[in-house]
Amino acid sequence: MFPSLGRMAKLYFRYGTMDSAKSMNLLAVAHNYRKQGKRVLLLKPKLDDRFGSTKIASRSGLEADADYMVDGDETLAASLFANIDCVLVDEAQFLAPEIIEQLRRITFDPGVPVICYGLRTDFKTRLFPGSQRLMELADRIEEVKVTCQHCQKKATFNLRLVDGKAAVDGPQVQLGADESYIPVCWGHYESALAEAMGTKAPQRAPR
């Protein structure tokens, strides 16, 4: 016989491209919890200081102060999660895999649901380490959708722009805003890279 596991909450990963309103979604969820008198803990990576060291901000204008900034692969204190009803994490792709594993354990002990928001892949279409661990461990993986900046197709990739042209090289983490990254579909992603490299984009097969 297996022992009773008691209260078991879920780990969620809600991912989307840049400009898909992930932070706005997070802030709306936080508002709804608090409206019901529930206690929410807001976490974010310490390195994300685009809107201020403690700010979780949406481009729609909504913002809130994070309750805790996660630094590196530190050990999160159990006291952080005492008497908490839900943990909401912004920019989860920047978290170390070890932090994701700790958040996974929190859903079992003390049994608090954790909802992580972030990018799935970088500008080279490679998984961020934090996102990869979330894809491996999350109970539920949900896409926050937005259309391509250049057409009506769903955006699935993050295009990094440098001086108006697609970046083909550079560090994985390079914090920016609207002028640095745009959400695009695969066709416009490939076309932008081809233009930047001076090559010809692959032709679509005729229908």
Question: Please, which pLDDT band fits residue 178 given cuts at 50, 70 and 90?
Answer: very low
- Return the structure tokens found at 168: 């083909």
C-alpha to C-alpha distance for 77 and 4, rounded to whole angstroms: 25
Q: What is the pLDDT of residue 198?
A: 85
The whole-model pTM stands at: 0.89
pLDDT tens per residue, range 86-114: 999 999 999 999 999 999 999 999 999 99
Q: Please determine, for residue 50, whether its predicted confidence score (pLDDT) is greater than 90.
A: no
Q: Output the average pLDDT for the chain.
A: 90
Higher pLDDT, 187 or 175: 187
Question: Please, which pLDDT band fits residue 206 given cuts at 50, 70 and 90?
Answer: very low
Residues 6+ apart with CB under 8 A from 129: 96, 97
143 is catalytic: no
- Structural domain 11-145, CATH architecture: 3-Layer(aba) Sandwich (3.40)
C-alpha to C-alpha distance for 27 and 42, rounded to whole angstroms: 9
Share of the chain above pLDDT 70, in %: 90
Q: Could you list the beta-strand ranges (E) of 5-155.
A: 11-15, 40-45, 55-57, 63-65, 68-70, 86-89, 114-118, 140-143
Q: What is the pLDDT of residue 54?
A: 85
Q: Please determine, for residue 193, whether its predicted confidence score (pLDDT) is greater than 50.
A: yes
Q: Which entry of 63, 74, 91, 101 is annotated as an active-site residue?
A: 91
